[in-house]
Structure 1
């Protein structure tokens, strides 16, 4: 028995078909009862239709759809190819958005990949995008990307990245876990351990693609940030009626400072655009548009300094499509300590370990220049222990994209304190200017725990508010109840069980309020979060102006909810 895989691959469904599924479907299609049902639904009246139908042909559409809903995605894709009638039934099943996620800690990479793919494709879904986050040593990102592209389709936007940890449900046991990469090191199996979190989504009414931030390979090449921002705006304008997309999920290179990139995005996008992600990661990606792809190990003239998975509303979406909304929240894990300081001078230094800034500082309103080591010692004495410290710099800069007129932007940027001497305070990164003001911050588990609790309460209140509004809208216009279909979590790698003293704290707002909803979470090396639609930051900013925008965070957790409201019922 032969089958034209080329024809099937051109259809907008999954196209990795199992031979046993093909045999079953061909048998069904070639059977007498199946031919009767197919031809009848296509309004071709065969002679057999005059007699009462029995067997498969007598199944009504409700029961037929109920059967289709229960088969795996790969078999579902095959079923959609049987006939126009079957395809129509499959489309009716996939009118709602869906997120599916799972992780595996199987040390054999190929087995782990098979486990997560089989789990996310265990029910009907039409993959519109995929995000895979891996932990372990010696990870083959290129092989993982190729494997997922073969399973999900070469035109499906895919991002594969290394993370500091993963959180979600096990593909085999369905047990919920937060797993840090340090857990492998503790077990002494870092050379053989592997973990992967896979999230696959289908969001009808939205268009999705991966757009890279490119940097020329030539010596001293500078990342083309303006082009990156304009590529995102142009894509949004092409598929929707706005230059600002609804959501951007970003993954930045571990060698690139994403603060300037986020400043440009914050300037260029409307306040409704949410941006979340991982500031520093090893990653590979595949865009739905071949010309955007920069392949690992190729002789292409560009590097990828970041990649953005862009979600924009489809201006050509079919009538009757429901509404998808994104909601974000931030749990801060740092508290301000000590007085406010002013940078008297700021000298940028380049070394083998990267870029840093040497600051000479004084207290706000004071005249004495303070040594960096003295400042660090005073804070450690106050806290009673040695701890990480950060400075939060209040910046006011002119920002523009391309030929646009510059606009003043006020933001808060975090830099880790690396040390100090009798004259200077050493901090990671650059971009600090003479005259900038800053506070010192330290990781605070108590503040983070309180913040997570407040977010959980806000999620609960959000559910109650949605339920109340849905009742009103259903009575007035026949609109169905709003529901959360999934979400993502981006938590700082410094949090987790070692930070709080017990596990699953960062996941608790999801687990407490949406226990059966698919969620994919990672521990990042710099969490990105912009455009919070739920006011719950509980950010201990001391005397800082709370109107300052801050997009790249430290010791925080960023939450993203995806909700869906069905279209009004037509009367």
Structure 2
């Protein structure tokens, strides 16, 4: 029988880091029952003072050629009882181990100064990463305080590796802001720790932005960088006030604190619907001029629609995407493992209950080992391009290439 791809995850909430490491290593190794080729570790910010001890403790008990991960404000994984849990604001350690026959596993670490200019040739990006364009690699990235460069990196990877899939998240920490990135045997505080997987592997994604559109789409008729100066040749703030006035009381209240902009991703799609937008924050308004500043660049001719976010919208959005995935992949049993990258603004603070996103995922994709963390920003593709998101849940589902029909 051919050597098959395998995936295992273990989550521990032991308050002692030594005990937690022992717990996850023993359980993940036993569950995998094959040599581990890749390890991915997530550690709770409750262990902030002990980040530097994690890799030496793992090295004592675990032999894996490629190991990376980061810290998170909340940690996702599989408990001893086999349940998937999201442990927020408490000690937690999640270890994913993967046996990946036929897969080339190439770890890399980057700093902002390493990146080529965006007008550089694809070859410069390929040389930077150190992985050929074919077979098409799949990327998993963990970013630190790299906000200025992460968008350029994602754009560069999309440019140099057409057809590749990139997922991941920005490491998060405690209120003091200390984070950790783990790459092989080293601890970093900034940059990007990544791995390129190429060969007999496919990463499929679900990117749930958790918003619902309100009103109708508008066209940007005048803009400057990230500032909307005209919508349908009208003052943007006037357009927005008229829209809010047309809402029911519940949505009017929601618009006071949970209003977002959705930028249409497909310029040629005539009828836009939920999921066709890249969700961005509204950063501020100019009461005198009526302009609206958002968390992305805008251009004349671009279509957008205002959106609202709440627990109901987030739940419905994720469920719609899971249902769509299930319909498109009737043989979902061939999926062998998954990673989850959720915003710190989701979880129990959004839903009022624990484990919501992960348990909804498991309802549609049964018994798939799932590990992940709560991020400062989530990395995932929308309409073929990769972005850094906020308030989003990104799932990366792994399967062997020959099992991906």
For this structure pair, what is the TM-score category when the shorter chain's length is used for normalisation?
A: 0.7 to 0.9
Q: Structure 2 CA distance, aligned partners of 1:456 and 1:430?
A: 27
Deviations 1:81-114 (A, max 9, x none): xxxxxxxxxxx8x922211111111222222122
Task: Work out whether residues 109 and 183 of structure 2, in 8 Å CA contact, stay in contact via their aligned partners in 1.
Answer: no
Q: Structure 2 CA distance, aligned partners of 1:527 and 1:224?
A: 23
Q: Structure 1 CA distance, aligned partners of 2:26 and 2:345?
A: 32
Correspondence for 2:55: 145
Q: Structure 2 CA distance, aligned partners of 1:462 and 1:133?
A: 30
Relative to structure 1, is the Cα distance of residues 253 and 430 closer, same or farther in structure 2, using a 3 angstrom cutoff?
farther
The structural deviation recorded for 1:249 is 0.9
Match among 291, 300, 308 for residue 194 of structure 2: 308
> Cα RMSD (Å) of the superposition?
3.8
**Alignment partner of 1:119 is 2:15:** no
Correspondence for 1:489: 340
Relative to structure 1, is the Cα distance of residues 194 and 379 closer, same or farther in structure 2, using a 3 angstrom cutoff?
farther
Relative to structure 1, is the Cα distance of residues 330 and 286 closer, same or farther in structure 2, using a 3 angstrom cutoff?
closer
Task: Work out whether residues 101 and 520 of structure 1, in 8 Å CA contact, stay in contact via their aligned partners in 2.
Answer: yes
Task: Work out whether residues 213 and 224 of structure 1, in 8 Å CA contact, stay in contact via their aligned partners in 2.
Answer: no
**Alignment partner of 1:342 is 2:220:** yes
Task: Work out whether residues 129 and 202 of structure 1, in 8 Å CA contact, stay in contact via their aligned partners in 2.
Answer: yes
Q: Structure 2 CA distance, aligned partners of 1:146 and 1:380?
A: 56
**Alignment partner of 1:389 is 2:255:** no
Q: Give the match's secondary structure for 1:311.
A: strand
Task: Work out whether residues 45 and 74 of structure 2, in 8 Å CA contact, stay in contact via their aligned partners in 1.
Answer: no
Relative to structure 1, is the Cα distance of residues 215 and 264 closer, same or farther in structure 2, using a 3 angstrom cutoff?
closer
Q: TM-score, normalised by structure 1?
A: 0.57
Deviations 1:371-429 (A, max 9, x none): 79968976998622232333334589xxxxxxxxxxxxxx9654322333413656465
Q: Structure 1 CA distance, aligned partners of 2:22 and 2:356?
A: 29
Correspondence for 1:333: 210
Q: Provide structure 1 residue ranges, at least 5 long, that are not aligned to the other structure.
A: 1-91, 182-192, 217-221, 298-303, 314-322, 348-356, 397-410, 467-481, 532-546
Correspondence for 1:196: 93
Q: Structure 1 CA distance, aligned partners of 2:265 and 2:326?
A: 35
The structural deviation recorded for 1:280 is 5.2
Q: Structure 2 CA distance, aligned partners of 1:122 and 1:211?
A: 28
Match among 156, 179, 190 for residue 87 of structure 2: 179
Correspondence for 1:158: 67
Give 1 or 2 for the bigger CA radius of gyration: 1
Q: TM-score, normalised by structure 2?
A: 0.77
Correspondence for 1:278: 169
Match among 360, 364, 371 for residue 520 of structure 1: 371
Q: Structure 2 CA distance, aligned partners of 1:136 and 1:441?
A: 32
Q: Structure 2 CA distance, aligned partners of 1:447 and 1:223?
A: 37
Count the aligned residue pairs.
377
**Alignment partner of 1:439 is 2:280:** no
Relative to structure 1, is the Cα distance of residues 440 and 229 closer, same or farther in structure 2, using a 3 angstrom cutoff?
farther
Q: Give the match's secondary structure for 2:24.
A: helix
Deviations 1:504-535 (A, max 9, x none): 3312354224443321132222221127xxxx
The structural deviation recorded for 1:277 is 0.9
Correspondence for 2:233: 365
Q: Give the match's secondary structure for 2:42.
A: strand
Structure with greater strand percent: 2
Q: Structure 1 CA distance, aligned partners of 2:219 and 2:396?
A: 34
Match among 210, 220, 236 for residue 132 of structure 2: 236
Match among 18, 24, 30 for residue 110 of structure 1: 18
Relative to structure 1, is the Cα distance of residues 500 and 447 closer, same or farther in structure 2, using a 3 angstrom cutoff?
same
Match among 132, 136, 143 for residue 252 of structure 1: 143
Task: Work out whether residues 236 and 291 of structure 2, in 8 Å CA contact, stay in contact via their aligned partners in 1.
Answer: no
Q: Structure 2 CA distance, aligned partners of 1:135 and 1:523?
A: 9
Which protein, 1 or 2, shows the higher relative CO under an 8 Å CA cutoff with sep ≥ 6? Answer: 2
